[in-house]
Amino acid sequence: MIYCLTGKVVKKTLDTVVISCAGVGYLAQVPTTTAGSLPAPGEEATLYTVMNVTENDVSLYGFSSEEQQSCFRLLTSVTGVGPKAALAVLSVMTPEKVALAASSGDHKAFTKASGVGPKLAQRIALELKDKVGKGLAMGTGFADGGAETPVTGSAPSQAVAALVALGYNASDAARAVSRVDDTLPVQDIIKIALRGLSKL
């Protein structure tokens, strides 16, 4: 299995990247967020990858972070979610937003992704709720199915953990935090989320 590739970017489009490593050019399908974050052709980059082998095809999917890579794996573990749908979700949502939406049961957030209808969106939220809720409640952010070394928590996941510590359940806390601007400092996110929770 190829975990990551580091080399020169040969070319990139909105949904693919070719990266040259030791004289071999690897073509990876990527979310649009990854394509946009990679440097221009000719510059060096690292792509975290997932290889998908089927009876008729071998495909490589690339991501700009290990968090995206873990999120892709979790999304494709959901019944009916293939690589194409998982890439579509990651093109419109960060892993943190995927975790918040799943944990709070906000299935409508997933319908913003191309090709994800209401039924599939509900299934994603339902099947991922417990898997990602635990990581958010612990303040560790998006965890790969409860991995022992999850990604360090971002401001939203730290806010969820703080609200859980105050006695709110993880689902309500995640729902309140998901409605707040995630670029704000943790303390501000908590304050605004608490106002929303007090109206419940």
Cut 0.95: pTM above it: no
Residue 126 to residues 42, 69, 102, 106, 152, Cα–Cα distance (Å): 43, 21, 7, 9, 24
Question: Rounded mean pLDDT of the chain?
Answer: 85
Worst-scoring range by mean pLDDT, 6-10, 85-89, 139-143?
Answer: 139-143
pLDDT score for 156: 80
Q: What is the mean pLDDT of residues 12-26?
A: 94
In the predicted structure, residue 53 carries a pLDDT above the cut 90: no
Residue percentage of the chain with pLDDT more than 70: 89
Angle at 35 between CA 116 and CA 132, to 5 degrees: 50
Q: What is the mean pLDDT of residues 96-117?
A: 89
